[in-house]
Structure 1
Amino acid sequence: MRILLVEDDAALGDGIRAGLRLADYAVDWVRDGEAARSALLDHSYHACVLDLGLPKRSGLAVVEELRQRGNPVPVLILTARDSTADKIAGLDAGADDYLTKPFDLPELQARLRALLRRAAGASTPTLEHNGVVLEPASKRVTRNGEAVAVSAREYALLHDLLSHRNHIRTRSQLEESLYAWGEETGSNTIEVYIHHLRKKFGADFIRTIRGLGYRLGGPD
């Protein structure tokens, strides 16, 4: 899952990025409102963690323009502004959640999981298809009740496919989901991870739609 982090404090931003990477998110980090605006225009994200007090353009202006353009990406405001008026302004501008600094990283991760779950239209905290169950909170994957070991990239790819189980996902969409800026990908990287997941869950678990991409296969 790819996250945009918008935070101008270097030490805090570095810590948040490291913590989210440990939770298997691909994280792009920018430090001002104009860079955030450009990133949101040019790339697709699963969620955005956004400070309010930013150089060049305020976080509030970023989220207002985002919603005016009809971009539904979930936004979690992360700020030191803790007044009720600030919280109301942020939520009314279009943010989906509001967390004040200082904060605990596990709470930020839990709030992100909740935002991503709602954005995917999931009513439960687990993702499931044909006996394969993924638990985002624990990063646990099972098949018919038995634990299955997956790598971080395999987990991220599986999470993406389960989150879009009724849709075809193109190779470029999967790459956007799995990799942050500066991370190199081989020409057949996605195909390699697809192959690994098929070995673990069955050849028909992921279907190749010729000329289009991939989707989960079999009856739901």
Structure 2
Amino acid sequence: MDRKKIFSAVDHTLLLQEATWEEIKQICADACTYETASVCIPPSYVKRASDYLAGRIPVCTVIGFPNGYQTTAVKVFEAQDAIANGAAEIDMVINIGDLKDRAYDRIEEEVRQIKAACKEKVLKVIIETCLLTDEEKIKMCEIVTSAGADYIKTSTGFSISGATFEDVELFSKHVGPKVKIKAAGGISSFEDAEKFMELGASRLGTSRIVKLAKSEQSL
């Protein structure tokens, strides 16, 4: 697969707690160089990054992150605030406890409310697959589809493991035709990225792909 195609699917990500503004500016610059799909950064940096990028690359941010147990009202406010600051894409974390409790209507209503707050902006729903059974993953495919979100996303990258080929393959079989797939967490090679895309992912949440390309250029 052409590397340009892989870069165009990458949400170039920096969500570490200790991320500085200089580091955020660097991933923004790298995203422009490699023409990635977006930069995915903490909400506190969205306004500065949006001003810095001036429309060159979409800004993505996270809400309810990383544990998902904020109230719906808080998540809606986070989404509205991020969009007001220039975010073009929102990656939200579901309340995993609600899923374990089979409170499916509550999860769907939350996704609906956040999508309404996003309007035409992209909403990706993080379900943290490493904590779920296959039955729960399939149910979330149904909920994300029904709620009208744009993407289902595997992982935050902050739990016990990240994306797997098996999970992306499972998503591909169970999401509706309008729902896209984002694989995130632990994608560490171009070979992995290509395999995820072949299995159905159209976005990849990773910091390593651009770093790999930069390291190859420096050799």
- Structure with greater strand share of residues: 1
- Structures share fold, TM-score greater than 0.5: no
**TM-score (norm. length: structure 1):** 0.35
> Whose Rg is larger?
1
**TM-score (norm. length: structure 2):** 0.35
